[in-house]
Amino acid sequence: MVRYLVVSALLAGCVAGADVAESAEDISASSISFTREHVTADIYHYEAVIPVGSTPNAALRIHRIVREIAPFVPRPTSHAAMLLHGDFATFVTNFAPTLGDPASPAPGLAPFLAANDVDVWGVDRRWTLPGETDDISDFGAMGLVQELGDLHTAIAIARGMRGGGQLALVGFSHGAELAYTYEASDGAGIDALVALDFFGAYGSDEADLQAASCANADAEYAAVAAGETDSPNDFLIEAGELAQSNPNDPSPLLDGFTNRGVSLLLLGQTFEFAPIAPVYHLLSPILDDTDTPTGLRLTTETIGNTWLAQSPPHESELEAADFDAQLCGQAPPVDAPMSRIAVPLLYLGAAGGVGALGLDTTQQVSSHDVTTHVFQLFGPDQADADVGHGDLLYAGRARAQVWQPLAAWLAGH
């Protein structure tokens, strides 16, 4: 039944806006991969992989996590959310990590929202698709313009299958930048916008960060022009796997560190690798007297290591360049000024992640319904140990402190 509905949505014209090499009539039920798996209680996960072209990874992997009233029959809801994952992740690994490979003990935002009567949708970016063949020959086209087209299609499919009700766009990390850009450039089918710890544009007092994005974009575009279209995640995958299997062994990745030490550095002092903010970190670290991470404060090392180990093997270099160029603002690939955003907006930040840097974007939109909150444990002098970027998804307290307010906001919008 669900497969029939997906095909019906496509044949009804929902492919408009995507980079489609095949016509809708050429996409048959037999060409769509569909799975259904149990999550918990009456909540199920549907996954459909829908071809949208002839290149190796020209497909949309669309997810739905929803309560059922009967097998393959979703419970009707008045509110829905399309969740957009961040870097080195997929919809599953960010939002339903118990379904990942390897599975994580982290419960997941998506099942929580579904249990609270939100019809949860998601779409994976194309660079998550290469499997056993590792065919990345089409990565040179995997940029922001293509992603916006894919998102337009996914939203149209969700709208077509639901038939009505509110639909919010919820983005985490670079998924939030994608959400901002979509709403500012297109916005079709979206009633509300939620950004989890990232921004869509810098403020006027962040010239240094903007200049760094410009420099990054130049370097990344140069790499793409030289044929380096893949930004592999093998370092993250190996770091997570080794920290789980042989935590106390010397690391083959960084001299002078154990496998556990490398993982804690990646998770707890991420600014050493990605200086997005002065003390940016993925997860809140416990620091010793020398400011060395010795553990994680708000979640388990197993959850952190599994997040790393679950990373897709590949990532698009062109996407990274386009995201940085968008933030640079000098020659963005998409015309998407934040002032065009008029839908209700919720920003949830992490004091040890992007945090307050994300507030500037919320002041550039034209929406009259803007809610912001930056989660923190300490004062500014302890930002290096405060709530981390990924703690919004993986911390034990996230359910009560982050997810519940998010669900309540969605119910009101």
Place of tokens 């420099």: 215
- Residue 172 β-bridge partners: 196
Altogether, the residues listed in the chain come to a count of 413
Give the confidence band of 29 by pLDDT, cuts at 50, 70, 90. low
Integer Cα distance of 73 and 411 in angstroms: 22
Which structure tokens are listed for 46?
A: 């549907």
Residue 390: partners with Cβ closer than 8 Å, 6 or more residues away: 267, 282, 283, 304, 307, 353
How do beta strands 166-172 and 192-196 pair? Answer: parallel
| pLDDT above 90 (res 131) | no
| pLDDT above 60 (res 18) | no
Task: Write the pLDDT tens digit of every residue in 139-186.
Answer: 999 999 999 999 999 999 999 999 889 999 999 999 999 999 999 999
- pLDDT value of residue 30: 55
330 or 96: which leads in pLDDT:
96
Handedness of CA 299, 300, 303, 306 (dihedral sign): positive
| pLDDT above 70 (res 27) | no
Distances (CA, A) of 214 to 95, 289, 353: 31, 36, 21
- The conformation of residue 251, written as its DSSP 8-state character, comes to P
Integer Cα distance of 213 and 220 in angstroms: 10
Which structure tokens are listed for 290?
A: 């020398």
Give the HSE-up count for residue 221: Cα atoms under 13 Å, Cβ half-sphere: 15
pTM given for the model: 0.94
132 or 366: which leads in pLDDT:
366
Average pLDDT of 15-40? 61
Task: Write the pLDDT tens digit of every residue in 250-299.
Answer: 999 999 999 999 999 999 999 999 999 999 999 999 999 999 999 999 99
8 or 66: which leads in pLDDT:
66
Write out the H or E segment, with its range, that includes residue 328: helix 317-328
Residue 215: partners with Cβ closer than 8 Å, 6 or more residues away: none
Average pLDDT of 112-128? 98
- pLDDT value of residue 9: 39
Q: Supply φ then ψ for residue 96, to 5 degrees.
A: -145, 60
| pLDDT above 60 (res 16) | no
Integer Cα distance of 181 and 136 in angstroms: 25
Average pLDDT of 379-405? 97
Domains of the chain as residue ranges with CATH: 2-201+340-411 (3.40.50.1820), 234-309 (no CATH)
Terminal alpha carbon distance of the chain: 30
Which structure tokens are listed for 132?
A: 């056993």
Give the confidence band of 32 by pLDDT, cuts at 50, 70, 90. confident
Task: Write the pLDDT tens digit of every residue in 177-217.
Answer: 999 999 999 999 999 999 999 999 999 999 999 999 999 99
Write out the H or E segment, with its range, that includes residue 109: helix 109-115
Q: What is the mean pLDDT of the chain?
A: 93
363, 371 contact by CB (below 8 A)? no
Rg (CA), the chain: 20
Integer Cα distance of 243 and 266 in angstroms: 11
| pLDDT above 70 (res 37) | yes
- The conformation of residue 135, written as its DSSP 8-state character, comes to -
Q: Report the alpha-carbon angle 381-386-311, nearest 5.
A: 140
Alpha helices in 163-297 (DSSP H): 174-185, 207-225, 234-245, 259-268
Average pLDDT of 237-254? 98
82, 168 contact by CB (below 8 A)? yes
- pLDDT value of residue 349: 98
Integer Cα distance of 4 and 361 in angstroms: 41
